[in-house]
Amino acid sequence: MVAEREFSVRVNKKEVVSAALPIQRHCLRQSNLDLLLPPLTFGVFFCYQKTHKFFTFGYISSALKAALAESLVYYYALAGEVVQNRGGEAELLCNNRGVEFAEAFADIELNQLNLFNPDESVENKLVPCKKHGVLAVQVTELKCGGVVVGCSFDHRVADAYSANMFLVSWSEVAQAKPLSQLPCFRRSFLFPRRPGHYDLSIDAMYTLISSLPPPAAAAEPQALQTDEQSVISRIYYIESEEIIRIQSLANSQKGSAKHHRITKLQAFSAFLWKTIAAGIMSRKDYSFKNFKLGVVVDGRTRLSDGDELLKGYFGNVLSIPFGDRKIEDLQEKPLSWVANAVREFLEEAVTREHFLGLIDWVEAHRPEPALAKIYAGGEGPAVVVSSGQQFPVRKIDFGWGKPVFGSYHFHWGGQAGYVMPMPSPKGNGDWIVYMHLQKWEVELIEAHASHVFKPMTSEYLDLN
């Protein structure tokens, strides 16, 4: 059963937490890869059951604030704010303005939270609405004594990898442990080359914002609109056996002379692509011919060239290659064919040269703002899959126990849908999948793949 219950959240206290040590005021330039991100906020939240009576809410909140202040000494970028420089580009002012920190109470118990529908239970309730600065934090006490820690990050400053690094460090500081990874803000890692050069494939992945049609000139409404086109969020779990089965099907390439091993993420992405396409075909009331799928690629390992410092690089090191295929082909061809289509478009973006070229591409077009083409939408549906397999949910222990649940929460506002698979907090190989899609896409997934995508419930999390 999926819990459904209306509840209210009362914010009892708001304050600003600054770094525990003084920080010299300075500007930190955004890298060319940071400049590809429009003003976006992404959230993350962790749910904790009540444990020992010693861990009162007052104690928990004080411990979080103290550890946050100490962590900001290392992660000083999170205590700053994004401003515009004279050229009109975003840059980070490191002025230790601090992090918004709120204490709240929610009139609900943890096992009653409808985590399947985060639009109702999480959005602007348990994950704070960031109004200023780079980071906002909210710690919420539940009726049962459980706690939810929610954070909102400015995506122009941090990608998911950077946020994960900070969250782990914050929890390590709270337990008086040495940091397992120090952040690095050395922008020279992502300096453009002189002279710069890039492959024309990047023109197919990225576009200048000025080249996009104004909203009024957008394509006329297509079929499947009205209420169905509203964007909703859902959280599912996928059992490990299903993930293995999907990967096995994706790798069953009969008669293929050249076999490439398909990863779990590639297989999952292909399955999602094919499932939605098959659902569209079954409706018979669509007007578009093609369906785009993008996959977020982290460039740190591609650019590192053996440099360990890049592992701790704090900022955005992302690219979003995508494929565009006919809906009929996605529906009719076997999963292995679709998986190979995913692998093929990913091949263009998993190299050092691609990321160096992307940096040079941005440099060649500055100060014109640009973004990933798939984010801008266009004719036909589009979905972006991000890899959250490094989401450190089981590591975010501030001293009162591991979280029983954690997830990203990303109302990113783009025309393309967004899907983030993450490891289950159970550590058993299951996946948690956050989806932010148009309502009709969610309905198709639930109609055609309910055996794979199962609604997140308190029973799954063993909450009593």
- Residue-wise pLDDT for 89-107, tens only, equals 999 999 999 999 999 999 9
Could you give the CA distance from residue 379 to residue 288 in angstroms, rounded to a whole number? 7
Nearest to 372 by CA among 423, 321, 431, 328: 321
Q: Where are the domains of the chain?
A: 9-188, 201-211+222-455
pLDDT in tens, 369-428: 999 999 887 778 999 999 899 999 999 999 999 999 999 999 877 779 999 999 999 999
pLDDT band at 255 (very low <50, low <70, confident <90, very high): very low
The one-letter amino acid at 439: K
Could you give the CA distance from residue 107 to residue 384 in angstroms, rounded to a whole number? 35
**201-211+222-455 to CATH, choices 3.40.50.360, 3.40.630.30, 3.40.50.1400, 3.30.559.10:** 3.30.559.10
- The alpha-helical segments, DSSP class H, found in 115-156 are 118-121
Sign of the torsion formed by the C-alpha atoms of 219, 220, 225 and 231: positive
Across the beta sheet with 290-295, the strand order is: 322-326, 290-295, 382-385, 417-423, 431-438, 231-238, 454-455
- Domain covering 9-188, topology: Chloramphenicol Acetyltransferase (3.30.559)
Does the predicted model carry a pTM greater than 0.85? yes
CB 384 within 8 A of CB 393: no
Helix (H) or strand (E) holding 269, with range, is helix 264-283
Q: Is 405 left (phi over 0), alpha (psi -120 to 50) or beta?
A: beta
Q: Do 9-188 and 201-211+222-455 agree at the fold level?
A: yes
Helix (H, G, I), strand (E, B) or coil at 263: coil
pLDDT for residue 257 is more than 60: no
Identify the pLDDT of residue 387: 85
Q: Is 424 left (phi over 0), alpha (psi -120 to 50) or beta?
A: beta
Supply the DSSP string of 387-398, one letter for each residue.
Answer: --TT--GGG---
**pLDDT exceeding 70 applies to what percent of the chain?**
94
pLDDT in tens, 426-461: 999 999 999 999 999 999 999 999 999 999 999 999
Identify the pLDDT of residue 53: 73
The token pair that represents 48 in the structure block: 């904790």
The β-bridge partners of 44 are 151, 408
| Mean pLDDT on 42-66 | 93
pLDDT band at 250 (very low <50, low <70, confident <90, very high): very high
